[in-house]
Amino acid sequence: MDHLIKPHGGALVNLLVEPERAAEIRGLSREWPSVDLDRRQLCDLELLLNGGLSPLEGFMGAADFAGVCSRMRLADGVFWPLPLTLDVDEATAARLTVGEPAALRDGEGVMIAALTVEEIFRPDREAEAAALFGADDRNRDSVARFFHRTPPVAIAGRIEGLQPPVHYDFRELRLTPLELRRKFARLGWRKVLAYQTHRIMHRAQQVASLTAAQEAGASLLIHPVVGLNQPGDVDHYARVRCYQEIVPHYPAFLARLNLLPLAVRGGGPSEAMLHAIIHKNHGCTHFMVEQNGEGSVLEVRGAPGYGDARAREAVSAHAAELGIEMVPAEEFVYAENRKRHIRAAGAETDDRVLKMTGEDVRNRLADGREIPDWFSLPGVVRELRRRLPGRNLQGFTVFCTGLSGSGKSTIANGLRVKLLELGGRGVTLLDGDLVRKNLSSELGFSKEHRDLNIRRIGFVASEITRGGGVAICAPIAPYDSVRHEVREMVRPCGGFILVHVSTPLEVCEARDRKGMYAKARAGIIKEFTGISDPYEVPVDADVRIDTAQVTPDEAVREVLLYLEREGYISAAEAE
């Protein structure tokens, strides 16, 4: 493997201990305090253990942290672009003692590594944010997220890895730096271009990466990020299946696919430089710095924020120290007259250039329209259609909100029966009363308890929607903010339709089917919505129904017509 590029700092780090030592540590660890790692920290730890972050031999201590923040150097002088600390909250820090060991555990409680605590310190988060994101105003959201999620204390010390974090998916595509280097050696690859992408690759990206590799005289490693996505992002499974579709379409022996367990930070140029180091440690000599462009679906939102020239300039400027060559990812477009993709910059005025945005692709998928062959490979389109089926195949949630006695349950029941009559999807009714009996039996009617109740309903509804079913919810849900939360929870899984059953209070009170309004007026029932507790009228309702004005049949029909207009059910079905 001598002909391969040297890892950053000279040698590939391996923090995994021998099985005997691992067994010994497991035996000793029973009394140790635990540090439960979140997914971001697990990604960092995985790359620390397997040498992806060489020469780091652990999370940074105060000296490395200060050196990196002030002059992009570790304490020993090695170039390093951004801080990488193990951050813990005060309560966790209070359980740790300098000189004593702690168990680093994953979300299931599996011990991944032992950390002998050498430092417990308070990093200067302002300096860290500046190092991570620069002074650029465009990174405001990332900075705000950083301050929100980062606890005050950091711990550092010697790490002994017991096992890599467990992955059940795409195992054959998760080679470590050492395994990848061995593979390159076997394949006779010396020059390797890393194409780190977080998007679906269509034909334009394939041509761009192929051209870049050929011009650099390099082989191509498609190295997508599958670590931590930002909240609200779709999972990586469909993306990886799309990459698997595209790899065979490169010339024979030119391209390989490997998955990178990387937590993107949403940083700018310094993050691009960190990625350059990680690719170098994986044996790559060239790094294709992607620009945020058009034509992306299933994008990892907010990741990584090197959407402009600054990232490329930074990687180029530090190329000597990084030891890896920057290759700009150029935009390619389809020239209809030439029947091939060309560089956007090289298009002539008489070229008929075709382009499509991610939004176009999403809309076409939602409506079941064609994705043209010039844009994407058929296998990629097939995978996208499986992941993002048209609305007629998606699950959805109908969330009815309104006062007690407004007619929510009647509409919900009618809708349930009608949808069952139409067939196709499973239908689950989460009526207010039912939920309170089964799911939220311990809850009362304070704002806190009501919000918790609605969040539970939202969680169940999102899971049903994700599975392609229909959830019909009918709680009072008097507060706007938690209704929003539920919308946000369900939207990534399918459709969300908010129905405001707007029957006026006087009508509900006059009906008083359960005699509750009378009791509320008499003060026997406290915190009663509409009487002694607020109801915030939704301004974002998709459908509004006043059951004082329409019959139950008409009310159900209004919802069905909305579902038809939006494409969730077909026209004939709504009749």
**The tokens of 514 are what?**
């359960």
How far apart (Å, rounded) are the C-alpha atoms in residues 241 and 254? 19
Distance spanning both ends of the chain, measured CA to CA: 69
Whether 236 contacts 197, CB under 8 Å: no
Nearer to ligand PPS, 277 or 501 (CB): 501
How far apart (Å, rounded) are the C-alpha atoms in residues 44 and 362? 32
> Which residues, listed in sequence order, are joined to residue 341 by a DSSP beta bridge?
334
User: Which chain residues interact with ligand PPS by CB under 6 A?
Assistant: 404-405, 409, 432-433, 436, 445, 450, 453-454, 475-478, 514, 516, 525, 527-529, 533
CB of 143 to ligand PPS, least distance (A): 36
> Residue 520 in 3-state DSSP?
helix
> No. of H helices and E strands in the chain?
22, 18
> Which residues, listed in sequence order, are joined to residue 501 by a DSSP beta bridge?
402, 545
Nearer to ligand PPS, 133 or 445 (CB): 445
Nearer to ligand PPS, 377 or 473 (CB): 473
Residues 6+ apart with CB under 8 A from 260: 52, 196, 223, 224, 225, 226, 227, 278, 282
Nearer to ligand PPS, 396 or 528 (CB): 528
Dihedral sign, Cα of residue 175, residue 176, residue 180, residue 186 = negative
CB of 463 to ligand PPS, least distance (A): 19
CB of 534 to ligand PPS, least distance (A): 10
CB of 407 to ligand PPS, least distance (A): 10
Nearer to ligand PPS, 527 or 566 (CB): 527
**The tokens of 297 are what?**
């679906």
Nearer to ligand PPS, 71 or 437 (CB): 437
How far apart (Å, rounded) are the C-alpha atoms in residues 318 and 569? 56
Q: What is the DSSP letter of 29?
A: G
Nearest residue (beta carbon) to ligand PPS: 432
Helix (H) or strand (E) holding 443: none
Nearer to ligand PPS, 321 or 527 (CB): 527
CB of 399 to ligand PPS, least distance (A): 11
CB of 117 to ligand PPS, least distance (A): 45
CB of 476 to ligand PPS, least distance (A): 4
